[in-house]
Chains A and B, each alone.
Chain A
Amino acid sequence: MANPAAAVEPVSKKLYFDIKWLLIFVIIAFLVIFEVFPLLYLVFRAFFPEGGFSLEAFQRVYSYPLNWTALKNTVITAGASMILGVLIAFPLAWLVGRTNLYFKKFFRTLFVMTYMVPPYVGAMAWLRLLNPRVGTLNVFLQELFNLSETPFNIYSVGGLIWVLTTFYYPYAFITISRAMENMDPSLEEASKISGASPLKTVATITLPMMAPSIVAAALLVFVSAASCYGIPSIIGAPGNVDTVTTRIIDFVYIGSSEGLSDATTLAVFLMLIANLVLYLSTFVVGRKQYITVSGKSVRPNIVDLGKWRIPATIAVIVFAIIVVVIPFATVFATSFTVNMGKDLFEAGNFTLKYWQVVFTRKQILNSAQNSIVAASVAATLGIIISCTMAYLLTRTRARGRKIPDFLITVGSGTPSIVIALGLIMTMNGKFGINIYNTLFIIIVAYMIKYLLMGMRTIVSAMTQIHESLEEAAQISGAGWLRRFKDVILPLIGPSVVAGWFLIFMPCFYELTMSTLLYSTDTKTIGYELYQYQTYHSQQTASAMAAAILIFVVVVNWILNKVTKGKFSI
């Protein structure tokens, strides 16, 4: 190295930090414009409905008993789904990820697939299976056990919890299994050497090690369940079980300015609760991060279930049949049925016309295309932000790196409907930006809402890569981007693909925000599906849902084949 270089170095030092700073700045700017500002505007509007300060809306909304019932229902259903979801997801993730369970690869795909199905489709299936009068499963069980009445009533808080759980546990399953598969097996081996049984090892080593991921997973389920609209609107409404989301949509659909104020006011509450919970948990979890993958390369270890192998497999099969196979089969069957009151195989009751509608109706195809474009763009931009953020969070001490992280968490904790409302009110040209009625506003909304799932996946993958792996590249002369490309990216590659899909899928069939943000040219498949479900034809809706499902399975299969099993969901 020659001396003149010394004079140049200060510049290079400056550049080195500026890139990070610039990235943080760009991400913050994006979030401030499209998230913070609209949300603050909503809060502002709740307090200043007509320009002047007023608590009238608050008084009106919070003195109304139905709203309180709704709040209570939301907390109960989301809380219960969270607990049940984790109770289901943890053992499943362990069995599928760390034991010699039979068909575990298949099971893994099957469980993750539930994530890929629009939740309101599941709600429809369960409604058909467990309604108190003629629910197929209900009647079957009644006859089987010779009961005087049907055992279940889906139109209840319990029913709501059940459907929310069956559709949101995959969030926990995905989060937990990813952490579990990355855990250093020697930690468990050490426990076994110390004389602990496999179960004891799970309880004393695996479980505590997984604690941060479990907490993160639980909260993800809580927030998703609490801000879900589709399921409560289908399951809850007929039984008069209202949740905050259905109340908000009711207020919005009233269509008056006062209705909007009320919706906003109620939304502010949900937003604060959700974010408080999220923030507290990040704070708690943030202090207990374990690095479980060392710089040394380890082979994954598999727990031998021994005599429990067959019983465990049977238990998982039964679970899969109840939670995945039966509802999905119901959806498929519905898509071929002319008269829902009759047996599918009854003469003249089988038809392909709903499938024909799905593939011929221009509007449906346009919507499908819109959704694919919007979700792909949102997922791609989202994953770029996620990777950058994960890197900044885990590998640098750059000042301000926690700000975007916080904002992304806030975004995902904010109920979809609130995000959409905020965007409509602020992005219509009133404040200089007009993206209303374009696909861009939908993409922005998707990103704000679903970025977190991708980011968490990548952050968790990243925290589990020992820093020295990257330092080794650094000392070898690789710069910031090069290290990212050569070392980090290949190691978190599977997580990046998974993260992409975790953002893509919920965006692809997104309903709540699309409902408010769509315009003539930018309808989405989720909205289309919901419209068919509730207003036009449930059979067509089922055919659309089945088509989405097939699409997902095929993409997953191809990814798996092409990458020789490395990249799959």
Chain B
Amino acid sequence: MSTIKIDKVRKCFGSVEVLKEFNQVFEDKEFITLLGPSGCGKTTMLRMLAGFEKPTSGTISIDDKVVSSDKVFIPPEKRDIGMVFQSYAVWPHMTVFDNIAYPLKIKKVPKDVIKQKVDAIMEVVHLSQYADRIPSQLSGGQQQRVALGRALVAEPNLLLLDEPLSNLDAKLRENMRFEIKAIQKKLGITVVYVTHDQIEAMTMSDKVIVINDGVIQQVGNPMEIYRNPANQFVAAFVGKIDFIHATSENGKITIKDTDQTLDYDGELTGDVVVAIRPESIHLCREGGKLRGVMDNKTFMGDVNDCYVRLPNGKGVRVIAPPETYDIYEIGEEIGLDFDTFHVYEDDGTDAATKIVT
């Protein structure tokens, strides 16, 4: 079992505070993803869990044992953790077998046991036929699996993965997502996974922690994060989103520069942003909560990806069922209907945030 408690952890590099107060508890056998754009502090957090970085302040405990605090610091080699690096870090001078066997050799496991365990792990990561190759004879995906095998072979209770799929091609990445998840389930270990790819986060995690600028934005399971983004950043970073500028007053939200309004029972007043998931919008000829003109449409096979222009000129992206492509023509006035929307104070984030990362 492996429970991780992160208590008031801060990290500064010189005068730059890269991680502000971080408090979390990771439960045993959980798949936790730290999600956020580059430089948000997620890798730093992971490296502190591993012990490669020392927190500036705060306490980290693994299984009720303090591994890092003001007084105690246990170096990585004593933490019994598995880790896969973004660059894989497979040793070029060792064969695949030797690479994977290494953690067991360090633990002075008897030779025959090593052989048995390494063979088993190579089976798991589909490398059995490459045991005697050296890494430069392997493809990127194979090297990545060597790294994964090595991280798993000592049967750690905690596995850390630092953007392990970022160097792989899309197809392989998709396969590896499922494989990693399957291995985690099979071995029953706690996994902390760092990525900036929200799809990886959504498809694999039990719990997603969205981080930006060193601050936790939201913690929750993928569904919660997607359905109820805690703020404009999360809404923008996870999934697709339309932001519409508006003003909130007396239980009514008025879209900027139009007379279209929405009913609102929240507390925010003044300048706000209305956030709607494009795939939650239904197109209709008549009625609808908002109205606009069909500006552009693209047939994607499974969906009709189109833009509807509101009277104030704002384009709203709508992901509609494919059959709507034939129903609504460009230039046609059209209604937008949706069940849920979120209202945030306008912090200047726009829907393109995640592209920038």
> Which A positions have Cβ atoms within 8 angstroms of B?
1, 3, 5-6, 9-10, 12-13, 16, 294-299, 466, 468-469, 471-479, 482-483, 486-487, 490-491
Q: Smallest Cβ distance from B106 to chain A, in angstroms?
A: 4
Bound-state Cα–Cα, A405 to B64, Å: 42
Which B residues touch A478, using CB under 8 A?
Answer: 77, 102, 106
By beta carbon, the residue of chain B nearest A14 is B73
B85's partner among A10, A299, A472 (CB-CB below 8 A) is A472
Which B residues touch A491, using CB under 8 A?
Answer: 91-93
> Which B positions have Cβ atoms within 8 angstroms of A?
50-52, 62-66, 71-83, 85-94, 102-103, 106-107, 134-136, 138, 140, 143, 147, 150-151, 154, 160, 167
Which A residues touch B74, using CB under 8 A?
Answer: 9, 12-13
Which A residues touch B138, using CB under 8 A?
Answer: 297
Contact (Cβ within 8 A) B71 A472 = no
Contact (Cβ within 8 A) B78 A477 = yes
A-B contact count, CB below 8 Å? 113
Contact (Cβ within 8 A) B52 A471 = yes
Q: Provide a sorted-by-A list of 14 A–B residue pairs whose CB atoms are within 8 angstroms.
A: A9-B66, A9-B78, A10-B72, A471-B76, A471-B83, A472-B147, A475-B50, A475-B77, A477-B80, A478-B77, A479-B75, A482-B106, A491-B92, A491-B93
Which B residues touch A487, using CB under 8 A?
Answer: 91
Which B residues touch A297, using CB under 8 A?
Answer: 90, 92, 134-136, 138, 143
By beta carbon, the residue of chain A nearest B144 is A296
Contact (Cβ within 8 A) A10 B71 = yes
Contact (Cβ within 8 A) A468 B143 = no
By beta carbon, the residue of chain B nearest A478 is B106
Q: Considering residues A13, A298, A466, A477, which has the most beta carbons from chain B within 10 angstroms of its beta carbon?
A: A477
Known: A6-B66, A476-B106. A295 touches B87 (CB 8 A): yes
Known: A6-B65, A9-B72, A490-B93. A466 touches B102 (CB 8 A): no
Bound-state Cα–Cα, A299 to B135, Å: 10
Bound-state Cα–Cα, A472 to B66, Å: 22
By beta carbon, the residue of chain A nearest B76 is A474
8 shortest interchain CB distances as A-B pairs: A295-B87, A476-B103, A468-B89, A297-B136, A472-B89, A297-B135, A295-B89, A468-B85
Contact (Cβ within 8 A) A1 B143 = no
Bound-state Cα–Cα, A468 to B140, Å: 16
Known: A297-B92, A297-B135, A471-B52. A5 touches B83 (CB 8 A): no
Q: Considering residues A10, A294, A478, which has the most beta carbons from chain B within 10 angstroms of its beta carbon?
A: A478
Which B residues touch A483, using CB under 8 A?
Answer: 77
Q: Smallest Cβ distance from B50 to chain A, in angstroms?
A: 6
Contact (Cβ within 8 A) B90 A475 = no
Which B residues touch A477, using CB under 8 A?
Answer: 77-78, 80, 103, 106-107, 154
A472's partner among B64, B65, B79, B150 (CB-CB below 8 A) is B150
Q: Smallest Cβ distance from B14 to chain A, in angstroms?
A: 12
Bound-state Cα–Cα, A478 to B80, Å: 10
B63's partner among A1, A12, A298, A486 (CB-CB below 8 A) is A1
Bound-state Cα–Cα, A3 to B147, Å: 30
Q: Considering residues A13, A298, A476, which has the most beta carbons from chain B within 10 angstroms of its beta carbon?
A: A476
Bound-state Cα–Cα, A6 to B62, Å: 11
Bound-state Cα–Cα, A474 to B76, Å: 6
Which A residues touch B92, using CB under 8 A?
Answer: 297, 491
B80's partner among A1, A10, A298 (CB-CB below 8 A) is A1
Known: A1-B80, A296-B140, A477-B106. A469 touches B75 (CB 8 A): no
Which A residues touch B93, using CB under 8 A?
Answer: 490-491
By beta carbon, the residue of chain B nearest A473 is B102
Bound-state Cα–Cα, A262 to B160, Å: 65
By beta carbon, the residue of chain A nearest B82 is A475
Contact (Cβ within 8 A) B78 A12 = yes
Bound-state Cα–Cα, A521 to B110, Å: 53
Extra inter-chain contacts (13) besides given A296-B88, A468-B89, A476-B150, CB under 8 Å: A5-B65, A6-B66, A9-B66, A9-B74, A12-B75, A468-B85, A468-B88, A469-B89, A471-B76, A471-B83, A474-B51, A477-B80, A478-B102
Bound-state Cα–Cα, A1 to B65, Å: 8
Bound-state Cα–Cα, A5 to B62, Å: 12
By beta carbon, the residue of chain B nearest A293 is B92
Which B residues touch A479, using CB under 8 A?
Answer: 75, 77
Contact (Cβ within 8 A) A295 B85 = yes
A466's partner among B76, B89, B106 (CB-CB below 8 A) is B89
Bound-state Cα–Cα, A89 to B167, Å: 36
By beta carbon, the residue of chain A nearest B74 is A9
Bound-state Cα–Cα, A115 to B200, Å: 55
A16's partner among B66, B75, B79 (CB-CB below 8 A) is B75
Q: Considering residues A297, A482, A486, which has the most beta carbons from chain B within 10 angstroms of its beta carbon?
A: A297
Known: A10-B72, A466-B89, A487-B91. A475 touches B83 (CB 8 A): yes
Q: Smallest Cβ distance from B146 to chain A, in angstroms?
A: 10
Which A residues touch B103, using CB under 8 A?
Answer: 476-477
By beta carbon, the residue of chain A nearest B103 is A476
Q: Smallest Cβ distance from B72 to chain A, in angstroms?
A: 5
Known: A10-B71, A12-B74, A13-B73. A476 touches B90 (CB 8 A): no
Q: Smallest Cβ distance from B160 to chain A, in angstroms?
A: 8
Which A residues touch B75, using CB under 8 A?
Answer: 12-13, 16, 474, 479
Q: Smallest Cβ distance from B316 to chain A, in angstroms?
A: 40
Contact (Cβ within 8 A) B80 A295 = no
By beta carbon, the residue of chain B nearest A298 is B136
Q: Smallest Cβ distance from A548 to chain B, in angstroms?
A: 34
Bound-state Cα–Cα, A466 to B85, Å: 11
Known: A298-B136, A477-B78. A469 touches B154 (CB 8 A): no
Which B residues touch A469, using CB under 8 A?
Answer: 89, 91
Bound-state Cα–Cα, A472 to B160, Å: 11
Bound-state Cα–Cα, A296 to B106, Å: 23
Which A residues touch B71, using CB under 8 A?
Answer: 10
Which A residues touch B88, using CB under 8 A?
Answer: 295-296, 468
Which B residues touch A10, using CB under 8 A?
Answer: 71-72
Bound-state Cα–Cα, A13 to B68, Å: 10
B90's partner among A9, A13, A295 (CB-CB below 8 A) is A295
B77's partner among A1, A299, A474 (CB-CB below 8 A) is A474
Q: Considering residues B51, B63, B75, B89, which has the most beta carbons from chain A within 10 angstroms of its beta carbon?
A: B89
